[in-house]
């Protein structure tokens, strides 16, 4: 009661002042809260303002006691505006009460967390979800994550990651949508819409945070936190569009990236945070650093001390300091020394308070602390069914020689072998939030549930990493006793994600040797890959008859994989990222630019390697099905258009196989002559369709100014007259073509 009374008094005081300053009423909520925000800021001390700009990780032990006394005092004195890594109704309520009972103005705390691919119900890792090419399903998975996270007191997620990357050595490709700008942009939109829902006024909406701004996915040599250097053309054409798509979809926060860009660390970049984000794109939310990024300006070598780091960041347009505490330490002195205008701080505070108002926290700071929701909206049957559906959609069939798959569920004996076959922990991958891996379904459990009357023989064979082969003979023995072998290979969960770059992308340890030994038994072998990035699996591709790429599929992984293995679900996933033949090909991606000496097999002095072909192992957009699809020739309704017209491209897809199946029909464009070199092809559209055996469907794409525009030689974004090739097909390497001209 004391907490409620104090909050009521403070709210009443703010309301009275805001009513005096509000000159007119408007039906628009954002317009109404502006005067209220101004009123609050006018009441705040400089120390309280800086507190709103400060984000700290949760600092309590398991008993609920504070580890350091200073942290408790920070909350009591209003020196903290937001907290991350705190979730659960009881915990977040305790922190909020501590704030409201003691701080002078009772401004609600904002609680954030890394809800990357599910909260309690863990969905496939983002790269896997991208392989579904199913925007509705991706949006739904984010919506469910938001429902669960907000049921446990959270307001804010540090997602989606919108970083494009063409380098699978970089461990954080697992968090993104892959290599393509267009696909990445559409997925960014879907995730923001899922997290933020229809209205932030609802108590199950989670504020999205666009990260990592900008170009973090282009870190040199695929090494995490490393430098980025590129032309502005490449930045604007390839890397910026997904961030902008997320901002345009309504994302209210943006996170700075760790890297420098062309010599300026992102956290100190006015060019990124103000010129582009706010002035060009009109972003009105707030910018938060990544973990200790302001402090890291010292290591970048662009700032000498805490004061200089903080000054660079606040002047760049960074509103909130995550974890370093530099703003709390330095901003007051910078204002006192007239190095920072207090109006800069006021502006940052207003941006943060706006988000809290839109979430309804000033109306009820405990609206996200419902014990009923926490009890009833976590890991429901509905959510688990959705997770399994998303997991099935994310699986990519890479090879299926002689239609080995789907396996006959009437097989008498099946061997399940491999270091990942009975792993629950690895199934939920990295950044698995509050997920409980003990509740996940392993591949072995999924197969046993699917085939309760089949003899299932299991052994590990080897560890994910290391050289121990003691279990090889046991694995060979049970393989020989079986009618077919399911071989679970790949990475451990910790081998991808943040700070998980790899220079070798082969199967770790002795896994390939295990595969060779099992293959030598002569039994039919299905390789099930579990990993967070493209791998170099040439031997498997050359020898093993069937390969499924299953990534890390989340809580229901084993059930989803079993559905695909035994034909209850026909795989439809397509690769969102190219699989190289070896790391020497990296960076390798489908949309490289034209070169002056394009590849010719018989001409040495063309762009190629001496020791391996230019072609990848599996191209972008690749993925097989248990059925087959034929494509008609591409038809255009017009072969010549003006700048403001569009051309309609169509193709007829027919299911020529025996199974009902989904196909992702992909549209690519190639600009034949332009003022600057252009990519050999670019994805500009896709549609996912379901066809019964023998069924045909006409698929149409409209190609207009948006698809045809690019940054011209003068860096003005627009179209140029010329000839263009339209390519429609089942992946980036297998397409049918037609041509038109732009006048």
Give the distance, in angstroms, between the CA of residue 246 and the centroid of all CA atoms in the same chain: 12
Residues 6+ apart with CB under 8 A from 312: 267, 268, 297, 302, 303
pLDDT on residue 64: 65
Strand-pair partners of 698: 652
Q: Residue 195 in contact with residue 207, Cβ under 8 Å?
A: yes
pLDDT on residue 7: 45
Q: Residue 531 in contact with residue 537, Cβ under 8 Å?
A: no
Residues 6+ apart with CB under 8 A from 296: 258, 265, 267, 324
Parts of the chain with a pLDDT under 50: 1-27
Indicate the CATH number of 381-585 among 3.55.40.10, 3.30.70.20, 3.40.50.1700, 3.40.50.10800: 3.40.50.1700
3-class secondary structure, 621: coil
pLDDT on residue 60: 65
Per-residue DSSP letter, 109: P
The DSSP result for 143-208, as a single string, is: HHHHHHHHHTT--EE---B----S-TTSGGGGGS--S-HHHHHHHHHHHHHHHH-S-TTSTT--B-
Q: Residue 76 in contact with residue 99, Cβ under 8 Å?
A: yes
Integer CA distances (angstroms), 397 to 387, 570, 616, in order: 19, 9, 16
Strand-pair partners of 261: 228, 264
Closest CA to 200 of 348, 38, 351, 368: 368
End-to-end CA distance of the chain: 72
Q: What angle do CA 555, 506, 485 make, to 5 degrees?
A: 60
pLDDT on residue 696: 98
Could you list the active site residues? 290
Q: What angle do CA 467, 471, 474 make, to 5 degrees?
A: 155
Which helix (H) or strand (E) covers residue 631, if one does?
Answer: strand 629-631
Which position has the token pair 């032990």? 61
* Dihedral sign of CA atoms 224, 227, 230, 234 in order: positive
Q: Which residue ranges make up each domain of the chain?
A: 381-585, 629-742
Q: Give the tokens for residue 367.
A: 């609206």
pLDDT on residue 13: 44
CATH number attached to the domain at 629-742: 2.60.40.10
Q: Residue 105 in contact with residue 10, Cβ under 8 Å?
A: yes
Residue 51 phi, psi dihedral angles, 5° rounding: -60, -40
Residues 6+ apart with CB under 8 A from 743: 640, 641, 642, 643, 721
Q: Which long-range contacts (CB under 8 A, 24 or more apart) does 340-347 make?
A: 340/310, 340/311, 340/314, 340/315, 342/46, 342/49, 344/314, 344/315, 345/46, 345/49, 345/50, 345/53, 345/314, 346/41, 346/49
The DSSP result for 542-568, as a single string, is: HH-SEEEE-----TTHHHHHHHHHTTS
Rounded distance, CA 212 to CA 155, Å? Answer: 19
């Amino acid at each position: 009661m004391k907490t409620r009374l104090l909050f009521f008094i403070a709210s009443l005081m703010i309301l009275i002042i805001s009513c005096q300053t509000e000159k007119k009423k408007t039906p628009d909520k954002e317009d109404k809260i502006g005067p209220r925000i101004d009123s609050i800021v006018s009441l705040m001390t400089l120390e309280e303002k800086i507190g709103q700009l400060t984000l700290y990780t949760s600092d309590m032990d398991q008993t609920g006691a504070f580890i350091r006394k200073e942290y408790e005092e920070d909350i009591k004195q209003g020196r903290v505006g937001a907290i991350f890594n705190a979730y659960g109704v009881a915990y977040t309520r305790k922190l909020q009460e501590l704030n409201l009972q003691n701080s002078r103005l009772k401004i609600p705390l904002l609680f954030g967390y890394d809800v990357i691919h599910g909260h309690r119900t863990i969905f496939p890792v983002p790269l896997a979800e991208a392989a579904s090419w199913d925007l509705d399903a991706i949006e739904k998975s984010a919506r469910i994550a938001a429902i669960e996270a907000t049921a446990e007191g959270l307001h804010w997620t540090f997602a989606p990651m919108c970083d494009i990357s063409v380098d699978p050595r970089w461990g954080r490709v697992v968090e993104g949508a892959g290599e393509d700008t267009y696909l990445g942009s559409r997925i960014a939109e879907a995730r923001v819409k899922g997290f933020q829902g229809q209205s932030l006024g609802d108590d199950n909406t989670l504020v999205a945070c666009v990260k990592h701004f900008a170009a973090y996915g282009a870190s040199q040599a695929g090494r995490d936190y490393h430098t980025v250097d590129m032309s502005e053309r490449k930045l604007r054409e390839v890397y910026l569009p997904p961030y902008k798509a997320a901002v345009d979809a309504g994302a209210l926060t943006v996170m700075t990236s760790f890297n420098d860009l062309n010599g300026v660390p992102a956290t100190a970049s006015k060019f990124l945070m103000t010129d582009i984000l706010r002035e060009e794109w009109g972003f009105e939310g707030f910018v938060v650093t990544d973990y200790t990024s302001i402090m890291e300006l010292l290591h970048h070598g662009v700032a000498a001390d805490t004061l200089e780091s903080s000054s660079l960041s606040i002047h760049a347009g960074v509103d909130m300091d995550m974890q370093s505490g530099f703003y709390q330490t330095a901003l007051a002195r910078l204002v006192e020394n007239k190095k920072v205008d207090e109006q800069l701080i006021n502006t940052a505070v207003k941006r943060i308070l706006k988000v809290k108002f839109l979430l309804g926290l000033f109306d009820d700071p405990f609206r996200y602390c419902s014990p009923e929701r926490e009890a009833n909206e976590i890991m429901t049957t509905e959510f688990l069914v959705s997770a399994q559906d998303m997991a099935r959609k994310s699986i990519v069939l890479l090879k299926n020689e002689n239609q080995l798959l789907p396996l006959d569920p009437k097989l008498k004996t099946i061997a399940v072998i491999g270091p990942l076959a009975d792993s629950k922990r690895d199934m939920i991958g990295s950044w698995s939030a509050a997920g409980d891996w003990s509740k996940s379904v392993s591949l072995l459990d999924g197969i046993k549930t699917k085939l309760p009357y089949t003899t299932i023989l299991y052994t590990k064979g080897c560890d994910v990493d290391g050289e121990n082969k003691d279990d090889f003979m046991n694995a060979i023995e049970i393989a020989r006793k079986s009618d077919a072998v399911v071989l679970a290979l790949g990475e451990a969960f910790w081998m991808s994600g943040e700070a998980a770059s790899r220079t070798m992308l082969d199967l770790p340890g002795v896994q390939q040797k295990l595969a060779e030994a099992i293959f030598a038994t002569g039994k039919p072998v299905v390789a099930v890959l579990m990993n967070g990035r493209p791998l170099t699996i040439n031997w498997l591709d050359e020898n093993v008859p069937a390969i499924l790429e299953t990534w890390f599929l989340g809580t229901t992984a084993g059930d989803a994989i079993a559905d695909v293995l035994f034909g209850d679900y026909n795989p439809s996933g397509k690769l969102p990222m190219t699989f190289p033949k070896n790391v020497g090909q990296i960076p390798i991606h489908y949309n490289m630019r034209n070169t002056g000496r394009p590849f010719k097999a018989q001409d040495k002095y063309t762009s190629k390697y001496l020791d391996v072909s230019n072609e990848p192992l599996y191209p972008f957009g690749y993925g097989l099905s248990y059925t087959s699809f034929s494509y008609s020739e591409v038809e255009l309704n017009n072969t010549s258009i003006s700048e403001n017209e569009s051309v309609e491209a169509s193709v007829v897809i027919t299911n020529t196989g025996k199974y009902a199946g989904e196909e992702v029909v992909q549209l690519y464009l190639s600009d034949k002559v332009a003022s600057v070199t252009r990519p050999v092809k670019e994805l500009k559209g896709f549609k996912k369709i379901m066809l019964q055996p023998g069924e045909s469907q006409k698929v149409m794409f409209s190609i207009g100014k948006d698809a045809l525009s690019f940054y011209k030689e003068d860096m003005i974004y627009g179209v140029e007259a010329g000839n263009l090739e339209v390519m429609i097909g089942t992946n980036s390497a297998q397409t049918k073509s037609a041509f038109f001209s732009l006048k």
